[in-house]
Every structure is written in structure tokens, then in C-alpha cells.
Structure 1
Amino acid sequence: MKTVFNIVLALCAVGLVYICYNSIMGPINFENAKKDREKAVIARLIDIRKAQQEYRTLHHGMYTDKFDSLIDFVKNQKLPFVMKMGQLTDKQLEDGLTEKKAMSIINKAKKTGKYDEVKKWGLEDFKRDTMWVAVMDTIFPKGFNADSMRYIPYGGGAQFEMNVKNDTAKSGAPVFLFEVKAPYETYLGGLDKQEIINLKDVQSKLGRYCGLMVGSIDTPNNGAGNWE
């Protein structure tokens, strides 16, 4: 009987140690896994932000809420890149010359073959040539997979939620906003459910989005991420 009691006592002790271990290591393991997953999600959100910021340069300041359009832009479109030679001097600027005016003078001379104005303003070595460079070669590293942008890392094929807002300010100026979201439940799926519930509870009480996001269609923030 005593032997049985000792065995039961030992098992209880082991169980208690296991419970204590889990109570300490559970949150630590969750936090470590959360950090690893968030690192991957943030990296992809930054890629999307880069693509959106370049997309708007060729679309009158507007963003897109469709990944098909954004991915096609990254894979197939080109961006203007201005090659500059020469700078306007302080004297030229004081005399009212601007880069736009300088190029107008040079382009006119090319069409007419008369370079008197070019020489008058001292623009012989002033050049501004526009080259068109593929988006993939401009803002992303070699081998970048544009098709992966739509998918949330660790999300089992789930896609980011992407929204845009086209509005007009009181001044009449156009306001274009975008946001991209990844909820906790998607990229933290498979981890401790209670820890996820606790995390969401804290964020909700603070009035924050329960997940990672970049940009906002409610408040202009220049495309900032909520982790920054």
C-alpha cells in the first residue's frame, strides 16, 4: 500500500512539475513563435507597400484594391527613371531658370536646330533623359516572387485583406488611401488558442487592430505599419 502511495505521489509531483513548466514556457514559446511569424508577415506587408507606392506613380496617385492588378503591375510594368547630367547654377536660378524651363529650351533647340538660347543660358552640358526600367528590377531583389504577395505567411493559403479609399478633402484636393490587413487568427493559427484570445483582448481594449496592417483608409498615415 505504501509503495502504491509513493508511486501516486511521484506521479503527482511529475504532473505538478509539468504543469508549472507549461505555465512558464507556454507563454514564452508562444511569444517566440509569434515573433517569427510576424517577421514574415511584416516583410510581405512591406513588399506590398512598395508595390502600391510605385503603382500610384503611374495611376494618377490612386492605389489598387485588387492583387491581380498589383501583381501584374510588378511583373509587367516599367517605371520612369531620370538620368541627370549637370546642375543649374545659383546665377541661373536667380535669373529665373528652372529645370522645366531649361528642358523646354533644350527640346526646342533640338526641334529647330537653333541653339542660341541654349548657349545664352549656358545649358550645353545640361541633360535630363528619362529611361523606363522594369518594376521588378527597380524595387525588388532578383528572384522576387510577385505572385506570393497576396498570401499571408503561415496562413494556409489565406490572402491579405486589401482596401482603398478615393476621397476629396475640404480643400478639394484628392485623397487616396490604402490599407492591407492580416488578422491574428490567420497567421497565428495552430498556436495556443488562449494566448491568441488574450492577445486580442489586450489589443481590443487599446482600440487597436487585432493583427498586422499597413496603411489605413480611416486616417492618413503615409502607409505606415502598425508595428512601426
Structure 2
Amino acid sequence: MKTVINIVLAACVIGLIYVCYGSIVGPINFDNTKKAREKQVIARLIDIRKAQLEYRNLHAGAYTASFDTLIDFVKTAKLPFVKKEGVLSDAQLEAGMTEKKAMAIINKAKKTGNWKEVEKEGLMNFKRDTMWVAVTDTIYGAGFNADSMRYVPFGNGAQFEMAIRNDTTKSGAPLHLFQAQTPYETYLSGLNAQELANLKDLQSKLGKYCGLRVGDIEQPNNNAGNWE
């Protein structure tokens, strides 16, 4: 009988150790996996932000709420790149010379064939040539897959939520905002349900979005991510 009691007690001790171990290791494992997944989700949100900023530059400050439009832009659009040779000296700048004026003088000489003014102003070695470079070659690394931009890593095919807002400020100035986001449930699926519930509860009490987001359509935030 005593042997049976000892076995039962030993089993209880092992059970308690297992429970205590799980209560310590469980949150640690959840946090480590969360950080690893969020690293990839954040990288994708940054890719979206890069594309939106370039899109805005070529579309009068406006963003797009369509991934189809944004991805097509990344694949096909070209951005202006100015190749510069030579700089204006302090003396030229003090005399009122600007890059715009310098290029006007040079362009006039190209049309007329008369380079006397160019020589007089000391602009013979001054050049500004605009080239058009593909978006993918400008803001992304080699092998970037634009089609993947819409999908949330670890989201089993889920797409980011993207929205824009076109408005005016109190002064009447145009206001263009965008945001892209994904909730915790999308990229943390399959992890400890209780830890996920605890995380959401904490964020809700702090009045924060329960997930990752870049930009904000409610108020300007310079397109910052909520992890920054």
C-alpha cells in the first residue's frame, strides 16, 4: 500500500513540475515565435510603404487602396533619377546662380550651338541628366517578388487590409493618408490561444490596434509603423 502511495505522490510531483514548466516556457515560446513572425510581417509592410511613397510621388500626392494597382505600378513604373556631374562654386552661388538657371543656360547652348555664355559662367563641366529607372531596381533588392506584397507571412493566403483617405485640412490643403494592417489572429494562428488572448486584451486596454499596422487614415503619422 505504501508503495502505491509513493508512486501516486511521485506522479503528482511530476505532474506539478510539468505544469510549472509549461507555465514558464509557454509564454517564452509564444513570445519568441511572435517576434520571429512579426519580423517578416514588418518587412512586408515596409515593402508596401516603399511602393506607396513612390506611387504618391508620381500621382499628385495620392495613394492607392488597390493592391492590383500598386503591384502593377511596382512592376511597370519608372522613376526619375538625376545623374549629376559638377557642382556650383561658392562664387557662382553668391552671384545668384542656381542649378535651374545653370541648366537653362546649358540647354539654350545645346539648341543654338553657341556655348559662349556657358563658358563665361564656368559651366562647361556642369551636367544634370535625368534617367528613368524601373521601380524594382530603385527601391527593392534583386529578385523582389512584387506579387507577394499583398500576402501576410504565416497568414495561409490572407491579404493585408489596405485603405486610403483623401481629404482636406482645416486650412484647405489636400490631405492624403494610407494604412496597411493585419490583425494578430492572421499571422499568429496556431500558437497558444491563451497567450494570444492575453496579448489582445493588453493591447485593447492600452487603446492600441491588435496587430501590425503602417500608416494611419485617422490622423497623419508620417506613415510610421506601430512597431516603430
Tell me the TM-score range normalised by the shorter chain: over 0.9
Instruction: For residue 11 of structure 1, report the CA deviation from its aligned partner.
Output: 2.1
Output the CA distance in 2 between the equivalents of 1:184 and 1:197. Answer: 10
Instruction: For residue 115 of structure 1, report the CA deviation from its aligned partner.
Output: 2.3
Output the CA distance in 1 between the equivalents of 2:198 and 2:185. Answer: 12
Output the CA distance in 1 between the equivalents of 2:116 and 2:61. Answer: 39
Indicate the residue corresponding to 1:99 in structure 2. 99
Indicate the residue corresponding to 2:41 in structure 1. 41
Indicate the residue corresponding to 2:174 in structure 1. 174
Output the CA distance in 2 between the equivalents of 1:110 and 1:51. Answer: 36
Instruction: For residue 172 of structure 1, report the CA deviation from its aligned partner.
Output: 2.9
Output the CA distance in 2 between the equivalents of 1:167 and 1:53. Answer: 18
Indicate the residue corresponding to 2:187 in structure 1. 187
Coordinate RMSD, CA, aligned:
1.4
Instruction: For residue 175 of structure 1, report the CA deviation from its aligned partner.
Output: 1.9
- Please, which runs of 5 or more residues in structure 2 have no aligned partner? none
Name the TM-score, length of structure 2 as normaliser. Answer: 0.95
Output the CA distance in 2 between the equivalents of 1:106 and 1:210. Answer: 57
Indicate the residue corresponding to 2:28 in structure 1. 28
Structure 1 residues 131 and 41 mapped into 2: Cα distance closer, same or farther (>3 Å)?
A: same
Q: Deviations over 1:198-217 (max 9, x none)?
A: 11111111111111111111
Output the CA distance in 2 between the equivalents of 1:136 and 1:96. Answer: 38
Of 92-101 and 130-139, more deviation after overlay is shown by 92-101
Indicate the residue corresponding to 1:155 in structure 2. 155
Output the CA distance in 1 between the equivalents of 2:51 and 2:196. Answer: 31
Output the CA distance in 2 between the equivalents of 1:220 and 1:125. Answer: 43
Indicate the residue corresponding to 1:111 in structure 2. 111
Output the CA distance in 2 between the equivalents of 1:223 and 1:131. Answer: 28
Output the CA distance in 1 between the equivalents of 2:99 and 2:218. Answer: 37
Stretches of 4+ aligned residues off by more than 6 angstroms = none
Q: Deviations over 1:54-86 (max 9, x none)?
A: 111211121111111111111111111100011
Q: Secondary structure at the match of 2:130?
A: strand
Aligned pairs for 1:3-22 within 5 A: 3-22=3-22
Name the TM-score, length of structure 1 as normaliser. Answer: 0.95
Aligned pairs for 1:72-87 within 5 A: 72-87=72-87
* Equivalenced residues, count: 228
Of 105-114 and 204-213, more deviation after overlay is shown by 105-114
Output the CA distance in 2 between the equivalents of 1:58 and 1:118. Answer: 32
Partner amino acid, structure 2, of 1:213:
R
Q: Secondary structure at the match of 1:114?
A: coil
